[in-house]
Each structure stands twice: as C-alpha cells, then as structure tokens.
Structure 1
Amino acid sequence: MPEQQNIEYKQSWHDDYLKWVCGFANAIGGMIYIGIDNKGNVSHLADYSKLMEDIPNKIRNSMGIICDVQLEDKEGMKYISIKVNPYSVAVSLRGRFYYRTGSTKMELTGVELNEFLLKKAGKTWDDVVEEGATIKDIEEKSIAKFIEDSREKGRMPDTKGLSVFQILEKLQLTEGRKLKRAAIVLFGKNPNRFYPNVQVKIGRFGKDSTDLKFQEVVEGNLVQMLAEVQVQLNHKFLTRPVDFVGMQRVEKDEYPVAALREMMLNALVHRTYMGAHIQLRVYDNRLSIWNEGGLPFGLTLGELKGEHNSRPRNPKIAKACFMAGYIDTWGRGTLKIYNSCKEHGLPEPDILEKDGGFMVVLHKVWQGVDESGAIGGAIGGAIGGVIDSLTDRQKDVLKIIKENNDVTYKGIAEKLAINESAVGEHIKRLKEKGAVKRDGSTRGKWVLLIDI
C-alpha cells in the first residue's frame, strides 16, 4: 500500500508527524493513518484512547487548525485516521512551514517560502509593486522593440498614440501610478539596480566544467537579453558546420535555433528572479542552460514530454511575452525543444531538476573513437548528462540495484538507513531521468539504463 500525494501511513504516533499535518494543510490536504504500515497491515494501538484526545489538541494548539480525527476498527484492531483539509492561508508549525509534494514532506525556506507566502496571499513575485521604481526606470527602446515583435502574432491591443505608462497599463504591469516588478524585469533600464543577478552568464568550456576557455555576462531587461544572448552565441560561442551540396556552400546550425530560443525563453520567463543568475554552458559536445527555480508543485519531469498545462512562476511576465509572440500559454515549450532536436537529427535532450533549479541539455551528434577504443557519440553524451544530474543518494540507490537487481524498497531503505517512502521518491526521480526501469511487477527485476 504505497504512500501517495495525499496519503501517509505511520505505525505509531510521534509528535514529529505534526510536520506531515502541516504539509498536507499547506498543499492539497490528505489522510494520515496511525497504526498502519506501508503494506497495509494494522498494528493495534494500545494507547488509542489517549491519542484520540492528544492528537486533536496538539494539532489545534501548535498550528491553530482543526482536523477530523477518527478511531477506526479492523477486526478488533484499533487505528486512527486524521483527515487534513487544505487551507487557503499559510499554516506554520512553531514558526516553520512545511509542504507535501509527491510522497515526501519538505520544509519551505528562502525563495520557496517567499513564493509560497505570496501565493497564499493571492500574489506572485512579479505581481508585486516595486516601490522604488518610477517611469524613468523604463527603457523606451525596449518597449518599442517589444511592440514591433508583437505585430506578427497580432496579440497586442492597439498602442498607437499611447504613452509609455499607458502601454504598461495595457500590459497590466502597473498598480495605480506605480510599477510592478514585471515591468522592471521586462523593460527596465537597469533591472540589476533592483534585483541582483538579472543576467545571463555564458561560459565556453572544453570537455568538462574544469576546462573554462572564456566567458561573457549579458545584463539588461528581458527583451535586451533575449536578443543579446543569441548574438553572443552566434558570434563567440558556437561554430557553424559547413557542408557542400554540389558547388553550393551550405551552413548548418550547430543546434536547432528553435530549441535554443525556447530554452532561453523558459529560463527568462520561469526563473526565480531573487535567485542566482542564468547559467549557459557551451561544451565541445553539448550545451546546457540552468535557471534557479524547480518545476511547479504537482508537475513532473516525465509530464514535460507530453501535453501539460502551463503553470508559469511569473504569470505577469509570461502574459506579456505571450502578447509579444515570444511564447505560447499551452505548456508547449519543452515539446518544441524535444521536437526540434529530433528534426535536427540530434538525440533527445536531457531536461532535469538540478541544484535547486531547472536544466536543459542539448547533445551533438558525434561519431568517433574515444580513448578506450569504443565508438562514442551523442548517446555517451546523453548518459553523461544523466549521471551528472544525479544526487549522491540517487547514485547510492543505483549502486545497490547494480549489486542486486531484485532488491526491494525495504532492502534499499535498510542499506541506506532511510525510510521506504524516501526510497520511493528516489526511484521515481531515477525513472524520470531514464536511469532505471522495472521489468515486471511484484516479482520483477530492476534494469539499469545507464552505467554507473
């Protein structure tokens, strides 16, 4: 009986499980069963009478919320169910905030906590007024470029004869006479004056990250950076392979332009703007882009390969970019990256969560012989990208599976001294990254898809 997004099983009660109650209350709600293990076996609670009094009081006194606590009976064996409803306001436990995502409980801190509190207040980071900004902080040329870019799609309302401030009003980037953060990010003369790290750092590396050859930093607003990054890539960081068809010289793009554009737009639109700068790394055999800020809660990496709903972290910025024709609002950005690589003859890109952020890696098609004499190429690059994305704990799980391909969740948990639900979360991530799969069900075996 595996744990799910909204179900948790505990064999006995411990006050630490109040964190799970808090996590459910801040997410979509859920059920906690006390006296049932992960296999669905009921272990009789001898102290159920005391727990029926203590648990509701502890929940109310520590968090100020009410949960439905019921005594259940299965063939004379007593267990307790705790129904936690989702709350529209943020719920804290002794000043700390927890959130249930997947089958794990996580404590919210830093940027994640800030975004969570804004969301509970009905706001997003980019929708907040920037008190220190005035219309003098807006770069008019960027607005003009934005409007010119929008003409092809025809999504923008008529802006003829409007002032800069009135155009920002049309884009819903103002509140009264004040500017919202999105206005500064999109069109600011110097967004870094308000928010550090509104920039893209581009590095040219050799075979790995220790071999840095040169780098550039692109600063400015979103409109400026979108154009300038493409210029820097084309003129300094990428080569254009040349082929000849008859007597005609034909240049081929090293990577599909559509994929590069979508990667850059995804990073600029969906990044956490109070976090680290965007990092774009160009290697001999691959290109990657990373931005701080993981996937929205409830969306998995596997779902990015198919149709999925668009859930932007910065909806004001995203809406403006939609009106300019830069992006769609149907969650098709990652699909465009996958499809353009396929059409370009490149292997499937790696799309993964890494170091508190989101990373996309494109791989070149290359055939040659490596130092060991083996035929190398795009497949080897892709595998290397997957391995680089794994956490130490995920690598430990793979090593255990490599030693014993019919090991159980319980067996892995015992070797790593963690609980089975944590093992389940690691396995889920490894499957999403294409590192392992299960051949068969109950009596099946694990199959490693990468060498470790």
Structure 2
Amino acid sequence: MNQENQNVEHKRIWKDEYLKWVSGFANAQGGKIYIGIDDDLTVVGVDNLHKQLEDIPNKIINNTGVFPETNHIKVDGKDVIEIVIEPCGMPISYRGAYYYRSGATKQELRGNALHQFLLKKMGLNWEDIPCDGVTLDDIDDDAIEYFLDHAIGEGRMEAESRKSSKEEVLSNLGLIKDGIPTNGAVLLFGKYPQRRFVTSSFKIGRFGTDDADLLNQDQIEGNLIQMTDKIMQVLSSKYLIRPIHYEGLQRKEPLEIPEDALREIIFNSIVHKLQFGTWNQMSIYDDHIRLWNEGVLPENYTVETLMSKHTSKPRNPKMAQVFYRAGFIEAWGRGYEKIMKAFDKANLKRPEFTVEQGGVTATIYREIFMSVRGDVKPNQTDTEPIQTDTKPIQNRTKAEERAIILDAVKENPLITMDSLSDLLKITKSSVQRRLDALVKEGKLRHIGPTNGGSWQVIE
C-alpha cells in the first residue's frame, strides 16, 4: 500500500463525513479511498462487508451525485473496500459546501477561491464574462489607440489594425460577446473601470519604521493597459530616487531600481492578479519594496518553477495576450529571467518572490537608496554636530576644513549646509566654497535636487 498522497486516502472505518473527501477528489484529479486501512498503513479490515458495499455507494450517490466504483479487495488476508472516484466535469458539493483535494489534504473552497473554481469548472474565465450594463461608449478610444501604437510598434499587430473599429479590435482580442464588452475589456480599456471594479486600482504606500508608520500613499486608478505608466511616473516623482552621475561629460540619472525590470515586475503583478480579488499593494520601505498581488501560482507551480524555464500559464489569458501584443510581457515565461538579468547587470541583489497570504509577493531591495543615504545612526539628526577634529578653529587651513567636510559627509551623507557651518564655525558661503572646491577636485559629488539630496565622497 502506498502512503497517502494527492490521489489516495486511507480510513480505518467509514464515516459519513468522508463524503467531503469524495467531493474533494471529484473536484480535483480523482482518487481512491481505502476503508479498513489506518493512516499508518496498518490493515485492520472491515466488518459487515456486504452491507457496507451496498450502503457506501448509495450514500455517495445520494449526497453528492457522484457514481463511485466500489471494490472488495484483500490486503494481508483482510477485507478492504476500495472506493474509486473519477474527476468530475461539474462542481460537486456536499451539504452546500465544495471541497478540493490538494496534496494530501482536503480543503473547503470559499470566497474568491470558490468563485474561481466554479468558473473554471464551467469552462469560463472571469475576464470572459460580459460586463452587464456596459456598452462600447464605456471603452476609451485613447486606451485603444495607446494599445495599437505599442502593438504595431512591436510588430505584434499589423499596421492595418489602425483602420479597425473599436468593436473589431475588441472582437479580435476576444474581449466582446454579443456586442457587450467583457470584464477583461472594461479593465483593460474602460473609461472608468473602478466604478465597476473598485479593487482594480493600484495602492502605493511609503512606510517609516514599521507598518504602522504610514508616511505617504497614493492610489493609481484608470484602465490597466496604461496603468503601469502612471505607476512609474508616481514612483519616479515621489517615492524612488534618481542618483546623478556622469559618464564623461554626459549627465546620467537612472532610477535606483532597473527601470525595465521594475516595469516587468509591475506588469506581471497586474496580469496575474486575481482580478475579482483585492488591490495590488506596493509597500515602500527604506531598504526594500514589497509588491503583493492576490492569486496563487498555477497548480503544481512553485517559485522555483518561475525561476527556471517554464510554460507560461496566465490566470487571465486574454488580458495577458493584450499585454504581450503591446510588448509589455513575454509569452513564453521569460519575464522572470529578464528581471534577474537586469538586476545582475546593475550589480544589484536579485528580487525575491514568495507565495503568501493567498498571493505572490515580490521583494525588491533598495541597495542604491541605502548607499546614498548612508548608515545614519538612530536618533541622529542633521543638526547634531559631528566631531571629526579637535584642532583649534583659528589654526585650521582651508585644506583641513575640506578634509573635515569629507569626514562629515562619510558619516552622514544627508548632512546640511547649516550643520557644516556649525561644525566648522564658518559662514555658509564659506562652506559652499569648500564644497565647490571638493567637487572640482573630484573628491565629492552631489546627488539629487539642489535643495535637498545627499552628498557622496568619491574614493
């Protein structure tokens, strides 16, 4: 006898509550229940064999509608009942509840998981359901044009597509039924999708010392095809930094996170989201970014599967196809490979992906921000003087003052002009001249806006 697994269950005696296991097997890949064998594979046999061979099938049929194959077998010379449950194309309930066999456990399906299961059993995807009360007037012409511009530019649609009507474009994408745009069409191209699907917006929050310390927040709304552009604009202007450096005479201001990789992570989060679930949520901390979307991985997929060559199994295939045609994602499961290569090229720690709380979390580390900010000690403020030299002030040379500035900046890259003036006991204009000299000598550079930003010592 094999150990219990996804398709096998052992029970010492029959109890009517095992009808839940019947439902679970029928709703999954089918399986076998052996009556008369303990969990530890000890064979105990069954009493009243003939009566049970008659009663058990009748109970299964009457309570679940499943027609089992019931066999009498001998194991170690003892009578055992084998109940074979085939997978069913229709959802099977027991007393109004639906169960599903996953691994070696039985799970009761509820909420979004039940909704998704029922749609799948009926051969439907949520994105394919016509959106009641919506007409073509609710579809944004600009969003359609935006999509066509990108899809034609990527060579994934013909230029002739520009001549197609709005209805023809949606029809070719499988996003309209009997003249009614589907849920997927409204999310991708709708004028006001959040009026119907409140949780289709994207939440961003900036946190301080802990999750209770919310410093700033934004909620990005609008259609999904253009949403990532809006997210990137907000992140660039309010939440992430663009350190300045020079390559020769050319000024460079790259985003602290590899931009194409960050876009790919956001696109994947949007496309693979359980669309009738809760919001996509991006939490930004000093040292990392956490992006979570509801929706577990495809069956038999793990995080390790994503990191290796794999077949793409999008939750919302038609919506994923639109993002692919626009050039936003890859169709062959190469997105994660591209993300990792981008971080490797930038010499940054790779993001990590985990499955938690009914969804997938991407953790992106902010190494550049932490480097620019420096290891500022707790409770240290810009107004606290940094003691770097005990030589009498009146005897210091300008070179020595510049050396003190370099030491101070190493200790606190965010140190202000006022703090340097207090430290050196010279005017702010004198401090500025020392800073200008250090920049000219190639020993110091300023990162960020003129009023603010930080300093970096060039070793």
Alignment partner for residue 300 of structure 1, among 282, 299, 302? 302
CA, structure 1 residues 141+12, in 2 after alignment: closer, same or farther (shift >3 Å)? same
CA, structure 1 residues 343+67, in 2 after alignment: closer, same or farther (shift >3 Å)? farther
Q: Which deviations, in whole Å up to 9, do the C-alpha atoms of 1:197-253 show, x marking residues without a partner? A: 110010111243122110111000012211100111111110123445677654443
Partner of 2:360: 358
CA, structure 1 residues 175+18, in 2 after alignment: closer, same or farther (shift >3 Å)? same
Partner of 2:165: 163
Q: Secondary structure at the match of 1:290?
A: strand
Check conservation: 1:25, 1:84, Cα contact below 8 A. yes
TM-score (structure 1 length as normaliser): 0.77
Q: Distance in 2 between matches of 1:144 and 1:284?
A: 38
- Once the two structures are TM-superposed, the CA of residue 150 in structure 1 deviates from its matched residue by 1.1
CA, structure 1 residues 234+25, in 2 after alignment: closer, same or farther (shift >3 Å)? same
Which one-letter code corresponds to 1:155 in the other structure? R
Match runs of 1:301-450 below 5 Å: 301-365=303-367
Q: Distance in 2 between matches of 1:3 and 1:254?
A: 49
Which one-letter code corresponds to 1:184 in the other structure? V
Do structure 1's residue 218 and structure 2's residue 220 form an aligned pair? Answer: yes
Q: Secondary structure at the match of 2:292?
A: strand
Check conservation: 1:63, 1:92, Cα contact below 8 A. yes
Q: Secondary structure at the match of 1:334?
A: helix
- Once the two structures are TM-superposed, the CA of residue 194 in structure 1 deviates from its matched residue by 1.4
- Once the two structures are TM-superposed, the CA of residue 358 in structure 1 deviates from its matched residue by 1.8
Do structure 1's residue 152 and structure 2's residue 147 form an aligned pair? Answer: no
Q: Secondary structure at the match of 1:159?
A: helix
Partner of 2:200: 198
Which one-letter code corresponds to 2:8 in the other structure? I
Partner of 2:407: none
Q: Which deviations, in whole Å up to 9, do the C-alpha atoms of 1:382-413 show, x marking residues without a partner? A: xxxxxxxxxxxxxxxxxxxxxxxxxxxxxxxx
Q: Distance in 1 between matches of 2:186 and 2:6?
A: 37
Check conservation: 2:206, 2:239, Cα contact below 8 A. yes
Partner of 2:383: none
Q: Which deviations, in whole Å up to 9, do the C-alpha atoms of 1:249-304 show, x marking residues without a partner? A: 54443222233112211121111222211111111011111112222233223322
Is the deviation greater in 160-169 or in 43-52?
A: 43-52
Q: Which runs of 5+ in 2 are unaligned?
A: 379-459
Partner of 2:123: 122
Q: Distance in 2 between matches of 1:183 and 1:331?
A: 23
Check conservation: 1:290, 1:358, Cα contact below 8 A. yes
Q: Distance in 2 between matches of 1:300 and 1:35?
A: 35
Partner of 2:393: none
Which one-letter code corresponds to 2:362 in the other structure? V
Partner of 2:181: 179
Which one-letter code corresponds to 1:87 in the other structure? C
Partner of 1:103: 104
Which one-letter code corresponds to 2:172 in the other structure? K
Partner of 1:4: 5
Q: Distance in 1 between matches of 2:141 and 2:20?
A: 49
Which one-letter code corresponds to 1:287 in the other structure? I
- Once the two structures are TM-superposed, the CA of residue 119 in structure 1 deviates from its matched residue by 1.2
Is the deviation greater in 230-239 or in 251-260?
A: 251-260
Q: Distance in 2 between matches of 1:3 and 1:249?
A: 63
CA, structure 1 residues 60+317, in 2 after alignment: closer, same or farther (shift >3 Å)? same
Is the deviation greater in 356-365 or in 46-55?
A: 46-55
Do structure 1's residue 30 and structure 2's residue 28 form an aligned pair? Answer: no
Check conservation: 2:151, 2:326, Cα contact below 8 A. yes
Partner of 2:260: 258
Indicate the percent of aligned positions where both proteins have the same amino acid.
40
Partner of 2:44: 43
Q: Distance in 1 between matches of 2:365 and 2:48?
A: 59
Q: Distance in 1 between matches of 2:18 and 2:377?
A: 53
- Once the two structures are TM-superposed, the CA of residue 309 in structure 1 deviates from its matched residue by 2.0
CA, structure 1 residues 216+87, in 2 after alignment: closer, same or farther (shift >3 Å)? same
Check conservation: 1:258, 1:336, Cα contact below 8 A. no
Which one-letter code corresponds to 1:28 in the other structure? Q
CA, structure 1 residues 74+272, in 2 after alignment: closer, same or farther (shift >3 Å)? same
Which one-letter code corresponds to 1:148 in the other structure? D
Partner of 1:387: none
Q: Secondary structure at the match of 1:197?
A: helix
Q: Which runs of 5+ in 1 are unaligned?
A: 373-452
CA, structure 1 residues 156+59, in 2 after alignment: closer, same or farther (shift >3 Å)? same
Which one-letter code corresponds to 1:99 in the other structure? Y
Q: Secondary structure at the match of 2:153?
A: coil
CA, structure 1 residues 31+173, in 2 after alignment: closer, same or farther (shift >3 Å)? same
CA, structure 1 residues 330+4, in 2 after alignment: closer, same or farther (shift >3 Å)? farther
Q: Distance in 2 between matches of 1:99 and 1:50?
A: 29
Check conservation: 2:236, 2:255, Cα contact below 8 A. no
Q: Distance in 1 between matches of 2:347 and 2:19?
A: 52
Partner of 1:282: 284
Partner of 2:16: 15
Which one-letter code corresponds to 2:294 in the other structure? E
Task: Please provide the CA RMSD for this pair.
Answer: 2.3
Check conservation: 1:127, 1:181, Cα contact below 8 A. yes
CA, structure 1 residues 43+183, in 2 after alignment: closer, same or farther (shift >3 Å)? same
Partner of 2:434: none
Q: Which deviations, in whole Å up to 9, do the C-alpha atoms of 1:93-146 show, x marking residues without a partner? A: 111111112222111111221111111111100000112101110111111111
Count of residue pairs brought into register by the alignment: 372
Match runs of 1:70-85 below 5 Å: 70-85=71-86
Which one-letter code corresponds to 1:204 in the other structure? R
Q: Secondary structure at the match of 1:224?
A: helix
CA, structure 1 residues 369+219, in 2 after alignment: closer, same or farther (shift >3 Å)? closer
Partner of 1:425: none
Q: Secondary structure at the match of 2:194?
A: helix
TM-score (structure 2 length as normaliser): 0.76
Partner of 1:232: 234
Which one-letter code corresponds to 2:220 in the other structure? V
Q: Secondary structure at the match of 1:56?
A: helix
Do structure 1's residue 55 and structure 2's residue 56 form an aligned pair? Answer: yes
Is the deviation greater in 100-109 or in 33-42?
A: 33-42
- Once the two structures are TM-superposed, the CA of residue 15 in structure 1 deviates from its matched residue by 1.9
